[in-house]
Amino acid sequence: MDNREFKGVWIPKEIWLNKALSLVERALLAEIDSFTGDNKCFYKSNETIQEEYSISRPTISKAFKKLEGMGYIKIEFNGRLRKVTYQADRNKFTGRGKDSFGQKETMFRAEGKNNTSINTSKRTKEKTINKEEPVILPWDSKYFATIWSEWKDDRKERKIKPYTTRGEKAALYKLHKDTNGNEQHAIEAIGQSIANQWRGIFPREKKPRTTEPSKEQLTNYLKNGDI
């Protein structure tokens, strides 16, 4: 799928000077940009990126989620692969774009000339939103993301108090720990909680499988008492 001759990654000025992005996010966005021209897409998996960048998978997932949330990329799944498309108009990086994040700050400053109190309130709210860390799911699959969303919707329908950001992170951490990182076990536990209308998720302990003794082992035990 990689049809280019790799000679390094050139980071455009508009991406490199974007202070809203970390160094990892800038490098990842620049690489996505280098792949996605002429209707082509970026297909690298998190495992490949982890190996090439020497960073953790949660960091990679967080970077993709942030870039998508800011409108710089579009992520789609075709059932087997993740397809990432570069979406942003480069003007958006410099604050000249119609809906750019950079322009929001300029608009707030303009409003402040007429109404300082409203301007301050909006800036404070904007900073609070930007500082809130996104919730990173412990598994990357689209299936887990879907069932986790269904679990939160089910809680909402039953009028259970929604998770705070900290509470949701804690619930996901506990689910990952209780299932020993087994995604299928976690999905089964969530489905069980939805089916039984439980307020929490309680994974069942997986019992080790036992195998029947062979005829030879049974005969040896009956003769010598050896197990």
Tell me the per-residue pLDDT of 145-161, one tens digit each, with 9 for 90 and over: 999 999 999 999 999 99
Measured CA to CA, the distance from residue 188 to residue 16 in angstroms comes to 43
**CATH 1.10.10.10 domain residues, the chain:** 13-92
Q: Indicate if the pLDDT at residue 7 is higher than 70.
A: no
pTM of the model: 0.39
What lies within 8 Å, CB to CB, of 31 at 6+ separation is: 9, 42
Measured CA to CA, the distance from residue 4 to residue 38 in angstroms comes to 12
Q: What's the rounded mean pLDDT across residues 33-54? A: 83
Nearest to 10 by CA among 34, 28, 32: 34
Q: Residue 20 is which amino acid?
A: A
* Cα atoms in the Cβ-side hemisphere of radius 13 Å centred on 102: 17
Cα dihedral 150, 45, 50, 5 sign: negative
What CATH code would you report for 13-92? 1.10.10.10
For position 211, what pLDDT does the model report? Answer: 63
Tell me the per-residue pLDDT of 119-151, one tens digit each, with 9 for 90 and over: 556 665 555 555 567 888 989 889 899 999 999
Phi, psi of 44 (to 5 degrees): -60, 140
Q: Give, to the nearest 10 degrees, the angle between helix 116-131 and helix 101-112.
A: 160
Location of structure tokens 């939103």: 129
Location of structure tokens 């790799």: 6
Tell me the per-residue pLDDT of 79-111, one tens digit each, with 9 for 90 and over: 677 888 888 665 555 433 334 334 444 444 444
Measured CA to CA, the distance from residue 148 to residue 100 in angstroms comes to 31
* Cα atoms in the Cβ-side hemisphere of radius 13 Å centred on 211: 4
DSSP β-bridge partners for residue 86 = 73
Cα dihedral 31, 33, 39, 45 sign: positive
Which is higher by pLDDT, 142 or 37?
142
Confidence of residue 66 (pLDDT cuts 50, 70, 90): very high
Nearest to 146 by CA among 186, 178, 196, 198: 186
Using CA atoms, how far residue 29 sits from 12, 63, 84, 102, 131, in Å, is: 10, 9, 10, 17, 21
For position 41, what pLDDT does the model report? Answer: 84
Tell me the per-residue pLDDT of 179-217, one tens digit each, with 9 for 90 and over: 999 999 999 999 999 999 999 999 887 665 556 667 777
Cα dihedral 31, 32, 33, 35 sign: positive
